[in-house]
Amino acid sequence: PCCQAGLRVIVCGHSYVFWATKYAWHSAWIQKLSLGKHSLLDWKGLQGLAWDGFSDLVSQSACEASIDVLLVHLGGNDLARVPDKALILIADLKRFKRQFQDTQVIWPIIIPHLRWHSAKNSNWMEHACKCVNREVDQVMINGLGSVVNHPEISP
């Protein structure tokens, strides 16, 4: 690991990560993460980031130094535009895990929205979100990584 035997944790994702980064740096919250002084928490949050930007974002980060933990908070922004979203997510996560076998991958479920951008039918989107979460969840818990549920967050 980088950082003089500490951990390198990358949190990548869309606007949730972008705004969490801003909040963390402008509050005392960053001090409470307790990663240790030799660890590095690297925020990679881009507003509007879609799944097709994942590979480039993570590859660029992996070139800088090894990644010990990767938290991937993506998928919701392009759920309405991409058919078979779960299959694409799973294939990309498996490809990443093969390339970076020592990296712990964490998948926070896609959080339901009050209003889905680019969606004509909100009920269909809620159903699609649940299906994608269920399929990715099964693959993750069967050896690909870990899953974070957000029962306290609702639309």
Specify the pTM.
Answer: 0.83
Answer whether residue 147 shows pLDDT above 90.
yes
Q: Is the pLDDT of residue 43 over 60?
A: yes
Q: Cα-flanking dihedrals φ and ψ of residue 73, to 5°?
A: -110, 75
pLDDT at position 152 over 90: no
Element (H, E) at 4: helix 2-5
Q: Which two tokens stand for residue 49?
A: 């980031």
Average confidence score pLDDT of the chain:
82
> Looking at residues 33-44, what average pLDDT do you find?
74
Q: Mean of the pLDDT values across residues 86-92?
A: 86
Helix (H, G, I), strand (E, B) or coil at 105: strand
Give the tens place of pLDDT for each residue, 90-104: 888 898 888 888 999
Compare 16 and 118 and report the one with higher pLDDT.
16
**What kind and span of H or E run contains 130?**
helix 122-139
User: By the 8 A CB rule, do 47 and 9 touch?
Assistant: no
